[in-house]
Structure 1
Amino acid sequence: MPASDSDLAVLASFEAGRRRSRVFTSTRVENMISLVLVIAVLVFGAQALVFAMMTPDLPAPRSVQRAVGESLDAGIILLVQVFVPLAAVVVTGLLRRGLRIAAGIFAVFYIGTLVIWPAYTSFQFGGQAGEPWIWYLLTVATACAAIAFPVVWAVAYTIGVPILFGLVRSIGPFGFRNIDVGILDALYGAIFGMVIVVLVAMFRQTARRVDAARDAALVRYDRAVRAHAIEAERVEVDALVHDNVLAALQAAERAAGAEAERAAVQIARHALTELREAGFEPADDESSVTLKEMAGRLRIAAQMMEHDFQVESKASAGAVVPQGVANAMGLAAVQAMVNSAEHAGGPVGSPRSVSRRVVVSNTRTMATIEVIDDGIGFDPDAVPTDRLGVRVSIVERMAAVGGASQVRSAPGDGTIVVLSWSAEEASA
């Protein structure tokens, strides 16, 4: 029996949901990290720029001036080298595109700035109490490295670059001066940078685990939906076989005259028709059936039974159920009537008189059909599992439409089969 278009759509949506779930939390974490980095760059970058503008112009060494040209200011080139990549980090962070590339470029350019810094300043900042303006960008550089590089490279950068800064910070025109200041600055930069690297790695790892858990949950849900669809088809096929094919075979076996043979042929034709139509998915039917109409259908079915059934309708005039639910409840009720007709009176030839009733009723939220007899009864728990009459044609058929069924019986106390359906419970 092929799957319906709605089933395929549901499974396709689950597959798409699995693909999205793999990056859902990771994307949100990356967006959060990007926002924090942009804020840090704006704060520390603005601070560094202000101090860079306040620093008095220093005469660049002749070697540097010859390298950049007599008409260019080496200080301007250094500012462009630092703050243009820094501005790119802000722009890409706000756009959430290309942030890792921009952050990696700034981290590399910052190393280049540290390398040429002593030559640019003629070693005049080395060992002084005041901080050079590139100091305010050390933590920004380590944060960019934590975002742009793999964890191993980010850790190496976070340890190596503060050490390089400490050396640059301590070297003067005539050797190292106040090296303890450089060591403290290097330790501060390395510790603060490692905190950033650990936080970024932890957030990313947690996000990946959450995405993996979401993906696994969707996979389990997908499998449950598939299993439910397979089980629903199995119930439908079992009910089809029991209600039509086995009924046709039993009618053919019991036929003892021309009229009975004609009835058996008619039942067999009906079974073949049901089997041919079983492979086609019926169109969605959103119509409703009133409970009074259901009672009328059961009266017609009762007239075809070999024993009398009294059909009563206690339903409200406007009480309705969906067409699919009406079909399931009606077929389950007919099966309960067939079971009562065949078994409630005891062995063939037994003089026991049995009263049989079918009651259709409703409350404000529930529709109910009861098939009642005062026959010999039975023990529902003792019914073999390979008997399909109660388990498939009644219990599982009602469960397939979101309804419920109860079989209350005991040896000698008759049998009551209660079929119920509630819109609230079916949609829960």
Structure 2
Amino acid sequence: MSSPPASASAAPPAPPARGVSAWAQLRAWVTAEPEYAAQPDFTRQLTRAGALGLLLALLVSLTLLPRSAQYFPGRVMGISLAVFAVATLVAVTQAVRNPERLGGLRLAGVTSYLLLGVYAVWGDPLAPTTAYAPVTTPLMIGAAAFTVGFGPRRGAAASILLGLAVAHQRALAVGVSQGALEAVMFTGTQMAGAVLIQALLDESRAVIAGYRSLTEMTMREKLANADLAAGSYLDSLVHNHVLATLLTASAASSPAEHDQAAAQARRALALMNRPSPLRRPQEWRDLVQEQADRLGLTLHIAVAGTPRCTASAQALLDATTAALTNVARHSGQREVHVQASFTPRRSTVTVRDEGAGFLPDRISPRRHGVRHGIVERIEDLGGTVAIDSRPGAGTVIRMSLSKTPSVLPVVEFPPVVRNVLFFTICLFVQAAFLAIGWRFREAYPWWLMPLVVLTFGVGLTVLWTIPATSRAWIPVAAAAVVVPTLALAVTDDVTTGDWRLWFVGFFDPVFATVAFRFSARAATLLALAQFPLYVGVIRLTAGSWAPAQAIEATVQLVLWAVVGGHLARAFSSSTERTLALAAATRRRDDAARLAQANTEALDVRLADLRTRAKGLLEHIADAGDDAGLADRARVAEAGLRDRLRFPALVDGETLDALGAARARGVQVSLHVDDRAPSIGPALRTAIAAVLEAAEPGDQVTVTAYPTSGAARIVVANPHRAVPVPRCLEVAPVLRLVDHDDGLLVLDVVE
């Protein structure tokens, strides 16, 4: 999506100051830039459409000039077209070099209305004729350029002058009724265009006004999603810092190792009070180095570029620190290599060690460090993780996050087509057009006009009501080419040239609609196909060539197709942005609600973590090396790891029971699904009862299968006979399955 300017929207015109003259107010109203001048995407399409329209209008006028000398004053027509050509050249040049500026179209519009005055005063026809003056089409397109350059309201007001001039000249050339009908047709066409542009502007204004908030919402959404995608900040804190500290402290046997454990404990305590470890993307390398130092690893790191997005950098930092923690825990090596690359489009990090390795396809779902801390952390943000490892051959983890372009919804039925004023004006224009054709009904068979009206009415209704993805527009567009061609073949008045253009002109809205709603390219190609058809039919029916009339008819249709296509691009851009804004707002609200719920849950768990681990971490941070510290750290590490892996099962009371049993020398191993089992309450009661009865040296294994609602607890001790505990009486959820000297098997029932 292209970026609009920094200003959220074009500022509305300031109210006139007291004491300002009426002339000054009028001049300010005339010279003020239109509201969409601050919207480059919108303005660019309108400028290009206007420039192409001026060129095509000039081409039409040049084809009419040679055969109009007997009906119109040649000097007035020639000078007017020369002046118009200069203004067109300026408008086209600016549309190519700087399409965001409207100066060229404003010049062409003002020039056209000045030439309109010349045409009204000195362009009277030399003889009655139905032919149009060569300047008629340029003046009509020039009036449209005025509407684009000065805004739809001023353009609609000025179009009344166009209607008056056309009515005057056509009344002199053809008749009063013809002049009145064509005045309605010309003025109505300009007003319909002005209403359409205003409707597009209204749609786009809301987008530009909300663009800045959209950007802010998108960033907040990314940050919220980053927090949610991590599983939780607390899980990363526990795995990467608290557990690592307790593990180091439990294995410390020398002053240097105790100092290392103390440093890790101080870092973990600091992070408990700072929930956002990455403040700036530039900190990324330093924080990776700090994690390696805390774990006692020798880090070889190479970083190319600087992270652009804090959310992506945080995700890669979390995954990288989780990988380093796994190296310290499982690899058996103290050296690790990290290579990172950050570009505007992609961020990649590779972590490599030469340690013990493992089989990636056999990673346990309960391995938080790999499964949750690395793989899910990256994949939840749309990234990829590739793990290359095998036993005895080391491990390579490649993580990648790409900047994915936004996919905007497709506009299928623009709401602007429901604009009642727009369609009312179009209806009046087509009614005037039809009235003109009815006045010359003696020139064609009786059945032709009903066929033309029926084809037009049904076709236009179909084009505006079918979905934009439908292919039903193709036969309608083909009919818009075939029916006018048929009309050419059966019309008697084929020698004047002008009447034949009526059939083509009547179908102009069909070509514009095809370009606007479906395909501008197809509409243009169909318009170009009119040239050989026109020439061929006239040659076969009248025995003469009519290249000038064919060019006039073809260019007329191409003009409508081009303008419709550019308006479609301007409209779809603004409307799609509106839909994107709505979608982003909806996602933002959802993310905010989830983030709030996540934050509240984290606050509760963080308070529990402080209660259970803060005192021990403070003791470790003070470089305590008493005899019981290692055992306390080992027990605490095992309990917190169970809490991290099985949050649905291990609540506070269960964690206390696990800690008390392990402190007495009971070995406890949990094998349960990380989803909340339906048997969870009964299982927690059973675990507490069994652990209370267990003695030092007992091995307690808990296995739960939540999908079947079954759970089993096995107590084994090869060195003593395990008695049937009294907990069977205390905890009725337990049922004896097997009992041997050194083995006790219990099932947990709901």
Taking structure 1 as the reference length, what is the TM-score of the superposition?
0.52
Matching residue of 2:112 = 110
Looking at structure 2, the residues matched to 189 and 20 of structure 1 have their Cα atoms a distance apart, in angstroms, of 39
Q: Does 1:143 align with 2:148?
A: no
Q: Which amino acid aligns with 1:354?
A: Q
Other structure's SS at 1:133 match: coil
Note if contact 1:38-1:94 (Cα within 8 Å) is conserved in structure 2. Answer: no
Note if contact 2:120-2:168 (Cα within 8 Å) is conserved in structure 1. Answer: no
Q: Which amino acid aligns with 1:225?
A: K
| Aligned ranges 1:185-200 → 2 under 5 Å | 185-200=182-197
Note if contact 1:344-1:414 (Cα within 8 Å) is conserved in structure 2. Answer: no
User: Per the alignment, do residues 162 and 87 of structure 1 end up closer, same or farther by CA in structure 2, a change over 3 Å counting?
Assistant: farther
- Listed one character per residue, the Cα deviations across residues 334-367 of structure 1 (whole Å, up to 9, x for unaligned) are 9652448985657469978435599xxxxxxxxx
* 1:21, distance to aligned residue in structure 2 (A): 12
* 1:153, distance to aligned residue in structure 2 (A): 0.6
* 1:209, distance to aligned residue in structure 2 (A): 4.7
Looking at structure 1, the residues matched to 326 and 237 of structure 2 have their Cα atoms a distance apart, in angstroms, of 27
Q: Does 1:160 align with 2:165?
A: no
* 1:378, distance to aligned residue in structure 2 (A): 3.6
* % identical equivalent positions: 13
Taking structure 2 as the reference length, what is the TM-score of the superposition?
0.32
Matching residue of 1:243 = 242
- Listed one character per residue, the Cα deviations across residues 94-144 of structure 1 (whole Å, up to 9, x for unaligned) are 4343762222222222222222335434x4458654322222223302321
Looking at structure 1, the residues matched to 257 and 72 of structure 2 have their Cα atoms a distance apart, in angstroms, of 115
69, 78, 98: which is aligned to 1:56?
Answer: 69
76, 83, 90: which is aligned to 1:88?
Answer: 90
Q: Which amino acid aligns with 1:37?
A: G
Note if contact 1:127-1:170 (Cα within 8 Å) is conserved in structure 2. Answer: no
User: Per the alignment, do residues 274 and 323 of structure 1 end up closer, same or farther by CA in structure 2, a change over 3 Å counting?
Assistant: farther
| Aligned ranges 1:358-377 → 2 under 5 Å | none
Matching residue of 2:99 = 97
Looking at structure 2, the residues matched to 59 and 262 of structure 1 have their Cα atoms a distance apart, in angstroms, of 105
Looking at structure 1, the residues matched to 637 and 705 of structure 2 have their Cα atoms a distance apart, in angstroms, of 10
User: Per the alignment, do residues 91 and 353 of structure 1 end up closer, same or farther by CA in structure 2, a change over 3 Å counting?
Assistant: closer
Other structure's SS at 1:132 match: coil
Looking at structure 2, the residues matched to 354 and 125 of structure 1 have their Cα atoms a distance apart, in angstroms, of 113
Matching residue of 1:320 = 395
Looking at structure 2, the residues matched to 112 and 133 of structure 1 have their Cα atoms a distance apart, in angstroms, of 16
Note if contact 1:78-1:113 (Cα within 8 Å) is conserved in structure 2. Answer: yes
Looking at structure 1, the residues matched to 206 and 187 of structure 2 have their Cα atoms a distance apart, in angstroms, of 28
Which sections of structure 2, spanning at least 5 residues, go unmatched? 10-38, 272-276, 290-300, 303-319, 334-355, 360-389, 400-633, 643-654, 672-681, 689-703, 716-750
Looking at structure 1, the residues matched to 100 and 225 of structure 2 have their Cα atoms a distance apart, in angstroms, of 44
| Aligned ranges 1:162-241 → 2 under 5 Å | 162-170=163-171, 178-209=175-206, 216-227=213-224, 235=234, 239=238
Looking at structure 2, the residues matched to 410 and 339 of structure 1 have their Cα atoms a distance apart, in angstroms, of 25
Looking at structure 2, the residues matched to 51 and 267 of structure 1 have their Cα atoms a distance apart, in angstroms, of 93
Matching residue of 2:287 = 282
Which sections of structure 1, spanning at least 5 residues, go unmatched? 1-13, 61-72, 252-258, 299-311, 325-332, 359-375, 383-405, 416-428
Looking at structure 2, the residues matched to 313 and 111 of structure 1 have their Cα atoms a distance apart, in angstroms, of 81
Matching residue of 1:337 = 638
| Aligned ranges 1:73-84 → 2 under 5 Å | 77-84=79-86
Matching residue of 1:36 = 49
Looking at structure 2, the residues matched to 191 and 242 of structure 1 have their Cα atoms a distance apart, in angstroms, of 74
Note if contact 2:115-2:139 (Cα within 8 Å) is conserved in structure 1. Answer: no
Looking at structure 1, the residues matched to 665 and 683 of structure 2 have their Cα atoms a distance apart, in angstroms, of 12
Q: Which amino acid aligns with 1:45?
A: L
User: Per the alignment, do residues 50 and 356 of structure 1 end up closer, same or farther by CA in structure 2, a change over 3 Å counting?
Assistant: closer
266, 271, 277: which is aligned to 2:265?
Answer: 271
Looking at structure 2, the residues matched to 124 and 198 of structure 1 have their Cα atoms a distance apart, in angstroms, of 33
Looking at structure 1, the residues matched to 81 and 221 of structure 2 have their Cα atoms a distance apart, in angstroms, of 61
Note if contact 2:4-2:41 (Cα within 8 Å) is conserved in structure 1. Answer: no
Looking at structure 1, the residues matched to 224 and 116 of structure 2 have their Cα atoms a distance apart, in angstroms, of 63
Looking at structure 1, the residues matched to 88 and 3 of structure 2 have their Cα atoms a distance apart, in angstroms, of 37
Matching residue of 1:46 = 59
Other structure's SS at 2:65 match: helix
Note if contact 2:128-2:172 (Cα within 8 Å) is conserved in structure 1. Answer: yes
Note if contact 2:44-2:100 (Cα within 8 Å) is conserved in structure 1. Answer: no
